[in-house]
Structure 1
Amino acid sequence: MTEIPVKIPAEPKSAPKAPPKHAPVPSARKDTLLYLDGVSRSFDGFKAINELSFVLMKGEMRAIIGPNGAGKTTMMDIITGKTRPDKGDVFFMGDVDLTKHDEPTIAQMGIGRKFQKPTVFETQTVADNLLLSLKGERRGIPALFYRSNKPDRQRIDEILEVIRLERRRNELAAFLSHGQKQWLEIGMLLAQDPKLLLVDEPVAGMTDAETEETARLLRDIAVDHSVVVVEHDMGFVRDLGVKVTCLHEGHVLSEGSLDHVSADPQVIEVYLGR
């Protein structure tokens, strides 16, 4: 009896797996708030940022020091979307590629920036400056229909306490001292509920007493926010008591405690010894 061969049907090919909607975050930046790797930026042949790598963890405050032209401002311009890097990675909250977003979008994501010179509404009261800055639409047509509410008033009270201006709430901002205007602008940033504050030379032009109080103010803020402070005043940096990064020629020259960085021969040569 002749056997009839039985044809076994081939197993159906499995459908190709769809790629994940979001690629897994590399472990190197998984728990970071801010992650810069190999970032460079040139202007007319001058490398303002040169293979810069910088990592800020969630809840951390960091001080940035370095000589003029070290790349501190350009670094903050890149983080906030004002300037695009020529190359390198810039990530926020682990997986948000900041190089693909513009300044307004990055600000809405939770990155607030304070420039060296305070910019406040001098013809408005201290409290109204904060009200205008609260997260949400407060300008244009929506402002015409805005009505004060309890949550907004409570938030303003909280910020006034943090920035040491409770007793000046009903005074015009024009009558504040230079240092108090700096505090008010920091408060205006806080009103936007940022995840990260970039603060540029906050104590320039302040009295010694204001400088000491600003260090305490920023330490208070750092309890609930991540903060990057650019500053030249080494006494102020010491009062902050945080990790220090020294930039030079667009890259990290030294990093660690202030004592460690201050003792670095390269830092002494290019910055502290001047």
Structure 2
Amino acid sequence: MVDKHIPNDTILYLNGVSVSFDGFKAINGLSIVLKEGELRAIIGPNGAGKSTMMDIITGKTRPDVGDVYFKQDIDLTKHDEADIANLGIGRKFQKPSVIETLTVWENLELALAGNRTPWQSLVFKLTNKDKDRLDEMANYINLGDQKNTLAGDISHGQKQWLEIGMLLLQEPEVLLVDEPAAGMTDEETFKTADLLRDVAKSRSVIVVEHDMEFVKALDCKVTVLHEGSVLSEGPLDVVQQDEQVIEVYLGR
């Protein structure tokens, strides 16, 4: 246990985190506490430190100072990206990384194969239980009717859902999602908000987003970053009334 003040229901704890690149402080004394089963939206202007924050949580970037703990007692600064993924922190980047020459089902099957060696993945055979799980996941991510469609032939929004499904098959306890609504139709945007709200019933989710309608649809606590630290935090309607937030991000 790093600090007796970390509440028992905390799954992600950042305290006093800073990191500089060539003298520029990308993250500056950042402190965020995420609870088990919490859905949190992170907003802020470009350059506010949102992506760097996710890089630090997932081990891509090491902070210069500060605490980064998972489940209260796992110091993430002492683990690399592969370790952190295996510990139970999944990350979805803004651009979907599905394999477009494989079907929706085959992409899900690859994700279920998980951390096997290439040879083990080649000889991996689905059990009936595995097949049921893939069926359930395809339906869960609104792609039950597209299981045999090439991932390259589904819409951008559907590719985002597919990648979320692939991550969920790896059973992360925390899911980090980067700008999922970018490039989506209105219908896809609201379906994605529904999906992420449902995902948060069984795990913790952080969503970095610019689309305020999407953030509103998430109906969750919002953290506003500015110049690498927390500028404001609370429900969206409260944050939107914050004079500092209006000044630096939302505009008048």
TM-score range, shorter chain: over 0.9
Question: What TM-score comes out, normalization by structure 1 length?
Answer: 0.89
Shift in Å, 1:139: 5.0
Letter in 1 for 2:41: A
Spell out the pairing of 1:180-259 with structure 2 (5 A cutoff).
180-259=158-237
- Cα distance in 1 for partners of 2:49, 2:8 equals 26
Corresponding position: 1:49 with 2:20: no
Is contact 1:40-1:49 (8 Å) kept?
Answer: yes
- Cα distance in 2 for partners of 1:163, 1:176 equals 13
Higher-Rg structure is 1
Q: Matched residue pairs, number?
A: 252
4+ residue runs over 3 A deviation: 135-139
Q: Is there any run of 5+ residues in structure 2 with no aligned partner, and where?
A: none
Alignment CA distance shift 1:75-1:137 (3 Å):
closer
**Cα RMSD, aligned residues only:** 1.3
- Cα distance in 2 for partners of 1:193, 1:146 equals 19
- Cα distance in 1 for partners of 2:135, 2:120 equals 23
Partner of 2:148: 170
Alignment CA distance shift 1:248-1:208 (3 Å):
same
- Cα distance in 2 for partners of 1:66, 1:39 equals 17
Letter in 1 for 2:168: L
Shift in Å, 1:151: 2.1
Partner of 1:144: 122
2:133 to 121, 131, 155: 155
Letter in 2 for 1:166: G
Shift in Å, 1:136: 3.4
Identity level (%): 65
Shift in Å, 1:29: 4.2
Is contact 2:2-2:72 (8 Å) kept?
Answer: no
Shift in Å, 1:24: 7.3
1:86 to 64, 67, 86: 64
- Cα distance in 2 for partners of 1:226, 1:160 equals 21
Is contact 1:132-1:138 (8 Å) kept?
Answer: no
Letter in 1 for 2:25: K
Q: Is there any run of 5+ residues in structure 1 with no aligned partner, and where?
A: 1-22
Where 1:27 maps in the other structure, the secondary structure is: coil
